[in-house]
Every structure is written in structure tokens, then in C-alpha cells.
Chain A
Amino acid sequence: MTNIGTVDGTAGRIMIRLENLRKEYPKEPKPAVDDLTLEIPEGEIVILVGPSGCGKTTTMKMINRIIEPTSGRIIVDDKDVTHEDPDQLRRRIGYVIQQIGLFPHQTIAENIATVPKLLGWDAKRIDARIDELLETVSMSPATYRNRYPKQLSGGQRQRVGVARALSGDPAVMLMDEPFGAIDPITRDRLQNEFLRLQAEVRKTIVFVTHDIDEAIKMGDRIAILQEGSRIAQYDTPEQILTAPASDFVADFIGAGASLKRLNLSRVRDIGLTQWPTVQLGTEPSEVIETLRRSDKGAALVLDEANHPRRWVSALDLQRADGRPLDQIGLPPEAVVEPQATLNDALNELITANYSVAIVVDADGTYQGIVDIDHINEAIRGMRTVARAKARAGLAEDRDDDLLTKGTTP
């Protein structure tokens, strides 16, 4: 049986290639990693996800040879590193583990300086790098440089862990459940921060998690692994959600695949609808006229800068008693920015007045609205595209089969 995860031509250059990688432990009948071949494209976050004991961590730790493979080859950046000096190899690969493992007896600056010192950078360059990295992870160098790890919160330690892993400017990063030990609210924020950071630095990242939701959110590509690190499916999150390759994958994704898909697209990716709006200071009669022309029950009041101010319905106007528009009706809740995920938008609009989420740009200027029909349509669209892709893939396979059969007597 083959155990191969390759990528098609649309992906970038292959940064990491594992070839027939195998790890056996003495006294254990089955290999922990069973002849795995896996291609990891440059600049992508590839997630290894699977139930505990499936070999995902072992697989990741063989890339920087914390665990030595029994057989097979590891190729990083077109170089066979299977027998290279492991310390030299590791200095070129960022490494973040769940417990972070900051050195408690060293200051934050000393922690971050570890790899640059090993690489022999001069003191001035190291100093500048420490400040730059602390800024990158939104921690003020002046405040945090000379603190010790015990003086930081869990979230701050995690940030320093990422900064430390980036310190030698490695092309490749390995992350083993990096957000695993953090409370859910902080985790969400750190995940978003990390994605923003990755959009700038474009590292090739191998990321291990057991949490399929995290995999879908963080991954450009996901390898779902079964026992022995056997690839059940290696594909983009969209494809995995839409066309699970086996019952194992479907079970692992669990119920609510459609809901999970909401995390994949963002408000800016779907068209916005317009809603009747009126400027602050408009005569009540004009507002009523605007409402009558639309099929909506309320108008959105905007101020001079086009920032949403109030929801005003016809009933509110009748009861206004001459009060201005910004003192009647309801405040505009459920305001989202274009980079919010559809999941965020849906979450907001479910509880909102008039069941819509108001979309504003970074300055707070009104852009349009998103409603449930919209989100529904977007999901249907995604599913159609992904199904078509899955079918095209199947058709190709069948053609190959026919060709093979044609040549055999």
C-alpha cells in the first residue's frame, strides 16, 4: 500500500520532501511512521492532524531529527539532510513546542539571542534583531527585553517562543501544538496574530495539532493522518471539508463540516448587499419615503463621515416626538470588518437587530451589509466548486486506469 502525499503543479516549489520515511521502535510490532512520502510546498502552512498516537509528532520531529528516522530520506531546500550534522540543521529550522520551553534562567533578550549567537552574528546585529522581533510579536522591547519568562503571561510566553523560533530567520518552522496550552480566547487572538505575521514572513511551516478546527483555520494544506502516520487525505481545507476521501476523514472532521467551512472565507470574499441608508439630519418624512421604497423595516442612519449611527424604523419615527435621528431607534450592533471570517459575521448577525451584520472598513466607514442568505449562497458556491474539483480529480484517476489497462495484454 502506498503512503504518499504529493501536491499538484499549482503549489509552489517543494521546500521539504520526506521520502519513504520510516520510524520503528524496538519491541513495538507496528512502525510509528510507515513509509511516509510527503511534499511540503514553500511558504505554506501544512498541518499534520490526526488522533493521538497517529505518529504526527514523530513525523514532524524527524524533519529536524530530534527523532532519527529508521530509514528513508529527508530533503530540505533541495538538500539531503538525512545525515547532516543535526545541530547545524536545527539552527536553520525554527522550532516551537507546546510548552514553549523558554529558558527560565535567561532574560527574554537572551532567549531570543540563542540561535543568532550560535550562528555567530555580531552583538550589534543580534541586538537589532531582538528589538525587531519583539516589535513583530507586539511586545515593547523597552519593557520586555530584560524580563524573565516567569514574569510573563502564558500568551506573552507563546509570543516570545515564536519570536525566538524566528530569530535566525529560518526558511522552515516546525510547530508542535504551539497554541495547545493557552486559554481559548487568547488562543484565538494568537492564531489570528500568527496568520497576520505569516502573511508577512511567508515561512514554510509544518504545524502539528489534534484539533481539526485549528487545522482548518491555520492550514493552507492539511494532512489527515491515521495510525502509522498513514495519509488519509492530503489536500486544502476546502477540499477536505467538501470531499472527504474516506469514512475516517469524514468521522475525523465530525459533524458540522458546513459550519467549519465558514472559517475558510472572509467577508471581503463575498459580495456585500446594500441597505437603505439615510444621513443624520434627514427629515422624518424623507426617511419614511426611503423605507417605503425598500422592502426593509428599518433604515441605517449614517453620520457625516458615513459611520453607522442608528437603526431607525417607521415605528421609531412615529414615536420620535421631534427628537433627532440619532436619539431614536436602536444602536448599530454587529459591526464587522472585511477581514472577518463568515463565521464571525454569522455569529454577530444571529443576535443582531434586523438579522444583518454591518460591514465597515478599517476607518469605520459603512461599506454594506451581510445577511444570512448571502452566507448561505457563499457556502453553496464553495461546495459546488470543491465538488467539481473533486470530480475532476476522480476523472483523471480513471483515465490513468484505462490507459494502464489498455497497455496490459
Chain B
Amino acid sequence: MKQKVRAKVLSQKKLTDGIYDMWLSTELAGRAGAGQFIGIYTGHEAHLLPRPVSICEADKDGEALRVVYRIAGRGTEIFSGWKPGDEVQILGILGNGYSIEAGCGKQTVLMGGGIGIPPMLQLAKELCMAGTKPVVVLGYRNNQLFLKEEFEPYAGVYVATEDGSAGTKGNVLTVMEKEQLKADVIMACGPMPMLRAIKNYAGEKHIEAYISLEERMACGVGACLGCVCKTVHKDGHSHVNNARICTDGPVFDAREVEI
């Protein structure tokens, strides 16, 4: 069941330029899975819509959620000013996440690009707990790495940077080739050009791939039809070639979407 609830800021810190790490105390945490998201309200009457933010971690007791977000506009800028103890409002838990079953017992490679990295942490943890240690390939712009060490207990970690200042120069797929990594399943989140390249790569190599899409959203619950993506087949709900990213996704089988 989706709810709009109050949540309390437990901690907030800056990880690197424009990227913030916030823990929220909320009863919704117990229902959160990897790849799902919450809507966070700004609390400001001029900036009304909830901002969709992916879940980076849900604590094991089901009492707190961690979000790692980038300042992308006025709303996220407001979030970055929140202090421990502040009361905020959130909407959740939203969307369909990654299937842990689909990655279990296989060579599963997680790929995160930029602000698509945070949801990979919860996913790596859940796969590990289910008995499958994944490989994680993280793509950054430069050597301002964030969250990298936190993946190390749960996964074999590789890094790519656009400018070559850390790890492999290039992107997540450059790492796949250079390190001769094999994948039965890819699970990815990141900017659209990266997801498009992964869809093509997985298609050529006949690898199952699950990608998390992003779009401007309003309601977050499937009512407004603001955040659709093109689908290969007619969608069962819309009866046209459009699926709702907020409710049918955000994670889709790469073969099913046209991006």
C-alpha cells in the first residue's frame, strides 16, 4: 500500500560536489526493495510536486531509508538544507524494483552511472543476502568517487571514469571489455545514453538486462500519465505502446522498452 507519511531526517552529509547522503526515519522502510523509489516533498508551497528519489539503502530493521541524491534544481537544493531532526513528508513506497530472483545463482553484473549508482547498493546487498555475490561496475565523471567502498563487502567492484582520473578511462561497457567480464544478467541504472548502450550491448550478446528509467513525474502513482516510456508491445494497462515509469517501472526488461 502506498502512503504519504511524515519522516524524520536522521543524518545528512555531502558526499562530493552536488551529491548528498540522507537517512530518513520512516515506517515505510520495511517495505522497500532495491530499485524502488520514494517521492520527497520540498515542504515549500511554490514547489509542490514530490521529487522521485531512488532508495539507496533500507536498514535491516525496517525503520530507516537512505537516499543519495544530486542537486538537480530548487527542490533537491531544499533537501540539501535539511538537518537531523527536521520533519519532512514522503510518498511511498513507489514503483517496481529489480527482481532478486532474476539475478540469483547467475553471473550478475550491476552497472551504475553517476546518480544511478545509489540504488545499486541496496541491490548488491539483497543479492548477497540471497547468496549471489554480484560484480558491480560503477561509472563516474571523474575521481570524485562516492559510495565505492560501501560496495566492497557485497561485490567485486570495478570503476570507470570519463576522464580516466580513476579506474578505467571510459564507461561501464569499456570496463566489461577491458576486464573481459562475462554476464548472464545485467541490472543497471544511469543516464539514458548509458542505458541505451547497455540495451544494445545486452541485445547483441543475448544477455538478460534490467534497466531503471527516469522521467519527469507528477503524481508518482500512475494516475497522471506524465512519465511514460515507449514499449515494444502494447502495454496491458494503457492499451497503447506506453508504460508508466512510476508504476509499471522504473525497472524494465531492456527488451521491452524503446529508448
Tell whether A and B belong to one assembly.
Answer: no
Residue ranges of B at the interface with A (Cβ–Cβ < 8 Å): none
